[in-house]
Amino acid sequence: MSIDKQQGEGAEVLLMGNEAIARGALEAGVQVAAGYPGTPSSEIIETLSRYAEPGKLYVEWSANEKVAMEVAAAASFSGLRSLCVMKQNGVNVASDFLLHLVGSGTRGGMLLVSCDDPGALSSVNEGESRHFARLMEIPLLEPADFQEAKEMTLWAFTLSEEIRNIVMVRSVTRMSHASGNVVLGALPPSRGKAEFLCDGKVSDPERGPMISAPVVEKHRLQQEKIRKAATIFETSPFNAYAGPERPELLIITSSACRLYSNEAVSLLAAEGRVGILKLGTTWPIPPAYVKKHLMATEKVLIVEEVLPFLEEQVKILAAEQVREIGFKTFYGKNDGTLPMSGELNPDLVAAAIGRILGIAPPAIPAVYGEKLRMYAGLVPRREQTFCPGCPHRAAYWSIREALQRDGRNGFVCGDIGCYAMAVLFQAAGFHTAKTLHAMGSGIGLASGFGKLGSFGMDQPVLAVCGDSTFYHAAIPALINAVHQNANVIFLVLDNSGTAMTGFQSHPGLAVNAMGDAVPMVDIAAICGAMGVKVVSGDPFALRETRETLNQLMEEGGGVKVLILKQSCALSPEKKARKQYLMRVDEHLCRGDACGCNRLCTRIFRCPGLLWDREKGKAQIDEVICAGCGVCSGICPAEAIRCEEAPLS
């Protein structure tokens, strides 16, 4: 689903939060947009890429988030409106440049859009990017519904130009990946041309060089800008109060938590007792505006995700103003009224309000609850796993076989992508991958493990990395491993795209975000230029892959690279297309008597392979099977047969 280009100003359409943010940027006349894919942020750049047009809007998937921010900043320095987009931990990657950018300031309006993932629904961290706004001293905006996501993004460009610095817009999964009604505004005509004016003095913000020095002077100027933003925020329409004039309890909230708070108050029918102060400008909070609302109540509950960010600001303000506003009782994260990890929801907020005000949330009827308990044991757990036809299952199968044959207790350092599931879930990866941290950290850790031989470690050290991750952050660590002569086998699991987030382009492909032909940067050539042994293979060729791995383990001595290339089963060229029709030859399948211990269904665990309990034989689920043919290579009785599927 995408924004319909035919629908113009005034049309009311269903948009995902990310599409609403993209629409806001389009309505602001954004000219350059850059980002790195990461759930839940990816749809913003994807949406913008459909509007790309030479001289009007340039969109790119950058190699990583720091480069994306640099690309967007260059546009801003040249007078264009620009946007960079990333998920929460992407801000960490970009933060070194950001620290210097806030000192130099910006020219054309520039936004950083960060989409956080409270509850880590699609992340291996619960990092909170809001703290970067305070750390870097830049304004922070948080939309609390879909219309606001659009309006706020649109307005943020104006704010950026007014204070001549980057503005941060922060969303969360439940905004970015939720959808709601949005009334569209007009798309503006093309804006001006690009020119980097740089012939002025260092002190000239219009024509001088863009640098963060003289540091202390620039820092002072930056703080003036943030004070100006606070003043603007005092009258911002993105801050709003709803509730009684003197509420018994004041909720201060932002983002998706505003919707949870509304719902919780409605569940408890406490509209007459609770007021909700929704802040859209969350750093710095507008002091006079918040103070006015604090004066109207004794009890304050701060509802936010994930850490007590607003809570700390409100408490500082209350301490500074205590003579005028009097003593308050605060509830929130610090006192345990709400949990400080994981995402919130309407039930958690309702329970918190209920405890403070002594109201019991509505309960499930007892008879129904009894029935639920009776049937509770029926539902089997559904663990996540690799898709049918996934090349990673095949790659990890060969790694498992090779490590078992080697017998020295070798292990894999994991990295970020679908293949990370090998560490997270038992059903995937066959217990081979044992570490999982940041993008590129697999090879970085392996570089360290690979130097521990002199301390007596003789375990083979393997690292995996996807194609997109290779360009993002693996290259410096790989260079380090090569240069330090670390004992590492580095497997690049190349599935030809940024598969996990939806097949965004990366530098290894000959096409960019806008669909234009571009030069591709070859992984094998990069590794080869580092002077190490590079082997390429097909993960679906199980025996060859296993043999290559065992050979590389035996050789030892420095870094070896094995590139396993096979497109993702969900890629547009493969999806819903079977290469093979699979079947189990029941005469050949020896069933429980085989002695293989049901290698196919108990160990290999592809969802397309079932075990027919009545017959005691393996069976293909034709609706699920992707027809990759890999399982025919694991059956010792050769009972899993594949034949070429007819071209549909």
Partner 1 sequence: MTKPLLAKDPYNIIITGVGGQGNVMASRVLANMLVRTGCKATIGETFGMSQRGGSVMSHIRVSATTAWSPQIPKGRADLIVAIEPVEALRVLADYGNPAVKILVNMRPIYPVGVITGEAEYPAPEKIREAVTSLSALSCFFNATDEAVKLGNPVLGNIVMIGAVVGLGVLPVNREVFETVIREGMPASRVEANLHAFAIGMAAVTCAVNADG
Would you tell me which residues interact with partner 1 (CB under 8 A)? 1, 4, 12-14, 39-40, 121-122, 145-147, 173-175, 177-181, 256, 259-260, 262-263, 267, 345-347, 350, 364-365, 367-368, 371-372, 375-376, 378-387, 418, 420-421, 427, 500-501, 576, 598, 601-602, 605, 607, 609-611, 621, 623-624
Q: Cis omega before residue 365 (within 30°)?
A: no
Nearer to partner 1, 85 or 418 (CB): 418
412 residue type, one letter: V
Q: Six-digit token pair at 322? A: 């205590």
Distances (CA, A) of 18 to 27, 48, 86, 183, 259: 14, 10, 11, 15, 17
Nearer to partner 1, 232 or 624 (CB): 624
Return the residue matching tokens 């065992």: 550
- Residue 285's SS3 state is coil
Nearer to partner 1, 386 or 471 (CB): 386
**What does the alpha-carbon distance between residue 66 and residue 72 come to, in Å, rounded to a whole number?**
10
Residue closest to 69 by CA, chosen among 89, 97, 47: 97
Question: What is the smallest separation between the CB atom of 385 and partner 1, expressed in angstroms?
Answer: 4
Question: What is the smallest separation between the CB atom of 236 and partner 1, expressed in angstroms?
Answer: 20
Question: What is the smallest separation between the CB atom of 6 and partner 1, expressed in angstroms?
Answer: 9
Decide: residue 69, CB within 10 A, 0-12 exposed, 13-18 middle, 19+ buried.
buried
Question: What is the smallest separation between the CB atom of 115 and partner 1, expressed in angstroms?
Answer: 11
Nearer to partner 1, 385 or 571 (CB): 385
Asked if residue 289 lies in contact with residue 239, where contact means CB atoms within 8 angstroms, the answer is yes
Question: What is the smallest separation between the CB atom of 21 and partner 1, expressed in angstroms?
Answer: 15
Question: What is the smallest separation between the CB atom of 326 and partner 1, expressed in angstroms?
Answer: 33
**What does the alpha-carbon distance between residue 557 and residue 34 come to, in Å, rounded to a whole number?**
40
Nearer to partner 1, 123 or 441 (CB): 123
Q: Six-digit token pair at 170? A: 């922060």
**What does the alpha-carbon distance between residue 159 and residue 170 come to, in Å, rounded to a whole number?**
15
Rg, C-alpha atoms of the chain: 28
Question: What is the smallest separation between the CB atom of 383 and partner 1, expressed in angstroms?
Answer: 5
Phi-psi region of 254 (alpha: psi -120 to 50; beta: other; left: phi over 0): beta
Question: What is the smallest separation between the CB atom of 64 and partner 1, expressed in angstroms?
Answer: 19
Nearer to partner 1, 110 or 422 (CB): 422
For 157-179, give the DSSP string: HHHHHHHTS-EEEEEEHHHHS-E
Nearer to partner 1, 500 or 563 (CB): 500
Nearer to partner 1, 186 or 623 (CB): 623
